[in-house]
Chain A
Amino acid sequence: MKVINKWGKGFFLYLFLVLIFPFLPIDEYYRSVAIIIGFHSIVTIGLCLLMGQAGQISLGQAAFFGLGAYTSAVVTAKYGLSPMIGLLIAMIIPAVFAYVLGRAIAGLQGYYLAMATLAFGFIVQIGITEWESVTGGANGMINIPQIAFFGESELRMYYLVWALVTCVLVFSLSLLHSRVGRAFRAIHKSEVAATSMGINVRSFKLSAFIISGIFAGLAGGLYAHFMGILDPQPFGLHESIKFLTMVVIGGMTSIWGALIGAVVINAISEILTVLREYIPFLHGDVDTIVFGGILVLIVMFMPEGLVPKSAAFLQSMKMKKKAARGEEDDQSMERKATT
Chain B
Amino acid sequence: MTEFMQYFANGLVNGGIYAIVAIGFITIYSVSKVINMAQGEFLMLGGMITVALIGMELPYGVAALVAILAVTLLGIFLQKYIIANVKKANAISLIILTIGFSTLLQGAASLTWGKDAFSLPPITNSAPLSIAGVNIAMQSVWILGTVLIILVFLWFLMSKTMLGKKITACSINPMAAKLMGISPVKMSMIAFGISGATGAIAGIVIAPLSVTSYDVGVLLGIKGFSAAILGGLGNPIGAAVAAFLIGILESFGAGYISSGMKDAFAFLILIAVLIMKPSGLFGERSVGKGGL
Interface residues of A (CB under 8 A from B): 51, 55, 57, 59, 104-105, 107-116, 118-120, 122-123, 126-127, 129-130, 237, 241, 244-245, 248, 282-296, 298-300, 303
Q: Is the CB of A116 within 8 A of B274?
A: yes
Query: In the bound complex, what is the Cα–Cα distance between A105 and B278 (angstroms)?
Result: 10
User: Contacts A105-B275, A122-B264, A244-B96 hold; do A111 and B218 have CB atoms under 8 A apart?
Assistant: no
Q: Is the CB of A293 within 8 A of B100?
A: yes
List of B residues within 8 angstroms of A285 by Cβ = 106-107, 110-111, 115, 214
Instruction: Choose from A57, A119, A126, A291 the contact partner of B261 (Cβ within 8 Å).
Output: A126
List of B residues within 8 angstroms of A116 by Cβ = 270-271, 274
Q: How many residues of B contact A (CB 8 A)?
A: 51
Query: Counting CB contacts under 8 A, is B187 at the interface?
Result: no
Query: In the bound complex, what is the Cα–Cα distance between A129 and B214 (angstroms)?
Result: 22
Q: Is the CB of A119 within 8 A of B222?
A: yes
User: Contacts A105-B275, A122-B263, A244-B99 hold; do A288 and B106 have CB atoms under 8 A apart?
Assistant: yes
User: Contacts A241-B99, A300-B85 hold; do A108 and B274 have CB atoms under 8 A apart?
Assistant: yes
Binds A, one of B1-9, B145-153, B283-291: B283-291
List of B residues within 8 angstroms of A51 by Cβ = 92
Instruction: Choose from A120, A130, A292, A299 the contact partner of B271 (Cβ within 8 Å).
Output: A120
Q: Is the CB of B222 within 8 A of A115?
A: yes
Q: Is the CB of A289 within 8 A of B86?
A: no
Cβ-closest 10 pairs across A and B:
A295-B100, A292-B104, A110-B91, A288-B107, A292-B103, A289-B107, A119-B267, A112-B288, A296-B100, A299-B97
List of B residues within 8 angstroms of A293 by Cβ = 100, 104
Q: Tell me the residues in window 202-224 of chain B with beta carbons closer than 8 Å to chain A beta carbons.
A: 214, 218, 222
Q: Is the CB of A112 within 8 A of B97?
A: no
Query: In the bound complex, what is the Cα–Cα distance between A323 and B99 (angstroms)?
Result: 43
Interface residues of B (CB under 8 A from A): 35, 37, 82, 85-88, 90-93, 95-97, 99-108, 110-111, 114-115, 214, 218, 222, 225-226, 229, 258, 260-261, 263-264, 267-268, 270-271, 274-275, 278, 287-291
Q: Is the CB of A108 within 8 A of B100?
A: no
Residue of B whose beta carbon sits closest to that of A294: B100
Query: In the bound complex, what is the Cα–Cα distance between A291 and B105 (angstroms)?
Result: 11
Query: In the bound complex, what is the Cα–Cα distance between A113 and B287 (angstroms)?
Result: 11
Residue of A whose beta carbon sits closest to that of B89: A299
Q: Is the CB of B261 within 8 A of A110?
A: no
Q: Is the CB of A283 within 8 A of B111?
A: yes
Query: In the bound complex, what is the Cα–Cα distance between A294 and B270 (angstroms)?
Result: 29
Q: Is the CB of A295 within 8 A of B97?
A: yes
List of B residues within 8 angstroms of A291 by Cβ = 100, 103, 107
List of B residues within 8 angstroms of A248 by Cβ = 96
User: Contacts A126-B263, A299-B96, A300-B86 hold; do A118 and B222 have CB atoms under 8 A apart?
Assistant: yes
Query: In the bound complex, what is the Cα–Cα distance between A210 and B241 (angstroms)?
Result: 36
Q: Is the CB of B104 within 8 A of A119?
A: no
List of A residues within 8 angstroms of B264 by Cβ = 122-123, 126-127, 130
List of A residues within 8 angstroms of B96 by Cβ = 244, 248, 295, 298-299
Query: In the bound complex, what is the Cα–Cα distance between A299 and B278 (angstroms)?
Result: 28
Instruction: Choose from B103, B111, B260 the contact partner of A129 (Cβ within 8 Å).
Output: B260
* Smallest CB separation, A181 vs chain B (Å): 19
Residue of A whose beta carbon sits closest to that of B264: A126
User: Contacts A51-B92, A111-B91 hold; do A289 and B108 have CB atoms under 8 A apart?
Assistant: yes
Q: Is the CB of B97 within 8 A of A296?
A: yes
User: Contacts A114-B95, A130-B261, A285-B107 hold; do A123 and B275 have CB atoms under 8 A apart?
Assistant: no
Q: Is the CB of A122 within 8 A of B103?
A: no
List of A residues within 8 angstroms of B82 by Cβ = 296, 300
A-B contact pairs, 19 of them (CB 8 A): A105-B274, A108-B288, A109-B91, A109-B287, A110-B90, A114-B37, A119-B267, A126-B263, A130-B260, A244-B99, A284-B115, A285-B106, A288-B104, A289-B108, A296-B101, A299-B97, A300-B85, A303-B86, A303-B88
* Smallest CB separation, A206 vs chain B (Å): 14
List of B residues within 8 angstroms of A284 by Cβ = 107, 110-111, 114-115
Q: Is the CB of B274 within 8 A of A115?
A: yes
Residue of B whose beta carbon sits closest to that of A290: B107
Q: Is the CB of A112 within 8 A of B229?
A: yes
List of B residues within 8 angstroms of A130 by Cβ = 258, 260-261, 264
Query: In the bound complex, what is the Cα–Cα distance between A300 and B93 (angstroms)?
Result: 9
Query: In the bound complex, what is the Cα–Cα distance between A208 and B261 (angstroms)?
Result: 30
Query: In the bound complex, what is the Cα–Cα distance between A108 and B222 (angstroms)?
Result: 17
List of B residues within 8 angstroms of A109 by Cβ = 91, 287-289
Instruction: Choose from B86, B91, B258, B267 the contact partner of A123 (Cβ within 8 Å).
Output: B267
List of B residues within 8 angstroms of A299 by Cβ = 86, 93, 96-97, 100
Q: Is the CB of A289 within 8 A of B92?
A: no
User: Contacts A111-B288, A112-B278, A292-B107 hold; do A55 and B92 have CB atoms under 8 A apart?
Assistant: yes
